[in-house]
Amino acid sequence: MKYAILALGLLVTPAVAETYDELDCEMLLRMLNNCTIKPNCDPYPTGHDAKGFRRMVEHHPNWWRDQMPTDKPVEERPFNKLCARVCDGKVAPLDVVKKFCPTWRPKS
Protein backbone atom coordinates (compact mmCIF):
# COMPACT_ATOMS: atom_id res chain seq x y z
CA MET A 1 0.00 0.00 0.00
CA LYS A 2 2.82 2.43 0.79
CA TYR A 3 4.18 1.88 -2.73
CA ALA A 4 0.76 2.65 -4.17
CA ILE A 5 0.72 5.97 -2.32
CA LEU A 6 4.29 6.72 -3.42
CA ALA A 7 3.39 5.99 -7.04
CA LEU A 8 0.28 8.14 -6.72
CA GLY A 9 2.41 11.01 -5.44
CA LEU A 10 4.84 10.70 -8.31
CA LEU A 11 2.05 10.69 -10.87
CA VAL A 12 0.32 13.83 -9.62
CA THR A 13 3.33 15.90 -8.46
CA PRO A 14 3.37 18.34 -11.44
CA ALA A 15 -0.35 19.02 -11.05
CA VAL A 16 -0.15 19.66 -7.31
CA ALA A 17 1.74 22.91 -7.87
CA GLU A 18 -1.43 24.49 -9.25
CA THR A 19 -4.30 25.80 -7.14
CA TYR A 20 -7.64 24.11 -7.68
CA ASP A 21 -10.89 25.74 -6.65
CA GLU A 22 -14.00 23.99 -5.36
CA LEU A 23 -15.46 23.44 -8.85
CA ASP A 24 -12.19 21.93 -10.08
CA CYS A 25 -12.01 19.58 -7.11
CA GLU A 26 -15.62 18.49 -7.59
CA MET A 27 -14.91 17.84 -11.28
CA LEU A 28 -11.84 15.76 -10.46
CA LEU A 29 -13.88 13.71 -8.00
CA ARG A 30 -16.64 13.13 -10.58
CA MET A 31 -14.06 12.05 -13.15
CA LEU A 32 -12.44 9.67 -10.68
CA ASN A 33 -15.82 8.32 -9.62
CA ASN A 34 -16.40 7.58 -13.32
CA CYS A 35 -13.29 5.43 -13.10
CA THR A 36 -15.12 3.10 -10.71
CA ILE A 37 -17.84 2.29 -13.27
CA LYS A 38 -16.98 -0.98 -14.92
CA PRO A 39 -16.38 -2.30 -17.52
CA ASN A 40 -15.07 0.87 -19.18
CA CYS A 41 -13.67 2.82 -16.20
CA ASP A 42 -13.65 5.93 -18.39
CA PRO A 43 -12.80 9.22 -16.61
CA TYR A 44 -14.04 11.48 -19.38
CA PRO A 45 -17.28 13.23 -18.48
CA THR A 46 -20.27 13.49 -20.76
CA GLY A 47 -23.41 15.61 -20.78
CA HIS A 48 -23.53 18.40 -18.19
CA ASP A 49 -20.22 17.32 -16.63
CA ALA A 50 -18.42 17.96 -19.91
CA LYS A 51 -18.90 21.71 -19.31
CA GLY A 52 -17.11 21.45 -15.96
CA PHE A 53 -14.33 19.44 -17.57
CA ARG A 54 -13.83 22.10 -20.27
CA ARG A 55 -13.76 24.79 -17.55
CA MET A 56 -11.06 22.92 -15.64
CA VAL A 57 -8.95 22.42 -18.77
CA GLU A 58 -9.24 26.12 -19.61
CA HIS A 59 -8.23 27.16 -16.09
CA HIS A 60 -5.44 24.59 -15.83
CA PRO A 61 -3.73 24.14 -19.19
CA ASN A 62 -0.71 22.67 -17.38
CA TRP A 63 -2.92 19.97 -15.88
CA TRP A 64 -4.11 19.07 -19.36
CA ARG A 65 -0.56 19.06 -20.75
CA ASP A 66 0.86 17.03 -17.86
CA GLN A 67 -2.04 14.65 -17.17
CA MET A 68 -3.55 14.16 -20.65
CA PRO A 69 -0.71 14.58 -23.15
CA THR A 70 -2.09 13.94 -26.60
CA ASP A 71 1.24 12.61 -27.87
CA LYS A 72 0.83 9.48 -25.70
CA PRO A 73 -1.60 6.61 -26.11
CA VAL A 74 -4.60 6.93 -23.79
CA GLU A 75 -3.46 4.12 -21.49
CA GLU A 76 -0.08 5.83 -20.95
CA ARG A 77 -1.47 9.21 -19.91
CA PRO A 78 -0.88 9.92 -16.21
CA PHE A 79 -4.51 10.63 -15.37
CA ASN A 80 -5.64 7.50 -17.20
CA LYS A 81 -3.09 5.50 -15.18
CA LEU A 82 -4.64 6.95 -12.02
CA CYS A 83 -8.06 6.03 -13.36
CA ALA A 84 -6.91 2.45 -13.95
CA ARG A 85 -5.68 2.25 -10.34
CA VAL A 86 -9.07 3.53 -9.13
CA CYS A 87 -10.82 1.05 -11.43
CA ASP A 88 -8.76 -1.81 -9.97
CA GLY A 89 -9.62 -0.69 -6.43
CA LYS A 90 -5.98 0.03 -5.59
CA VAL A 91 -6.73 3.62 -4.56
CA ALA A 92 -9.92 5.48 -3.65
CA PRO A 93 -11.10 8.43 -5.76
CA LEU A 94 -11.12 10.78 -2.77
CA ASP A 95 -7.50 9.89 -1.93
CA VAL A 96 -6.46 10.97 -5.43
CA VAL A 97 -8.44 14.21 -5.25
CA LYS A 98 -6.73 15.06 -1.95
CA LYS A 99 -3.40 15.08 -3.80
CA PHE A 100 -4.72 17.81 -6.11
CA CYS A 101 -6.94 19.54 -3.50
CA PRO A 102 -5.39 18.96 -0.06
CA THR A 103 -7.75 21.23 1.92
CA TRP A 104 -10.94 20.53 -0.03
CA ARG A 105 -13.72 18.37 1.41
CA PRO A 106 -16.66 17.07 -0.63
CA LYS A 107 -20.10 18.37 0.18
CA SER A 108 -22.14 15.95 2.25
pLDDT digit string, tens, across residues 30-84: 999 999 998 888 888 888 888 888 898 888 888 778 887 888 888 888 888 899 9
Query: Please, are residues 67 and 77 in contact by the beta-carbon 8 Å criterion?
Result: yes
Residue 40, CB half-sphere, CA atoms under 13 Å: how many?
A: 8
pLDDT at site 13: 47
Q: What is the pLDDT of residue 17?
A: 57
CA–CA distance, 87 with 10 (Å, rounded to integer) = 19
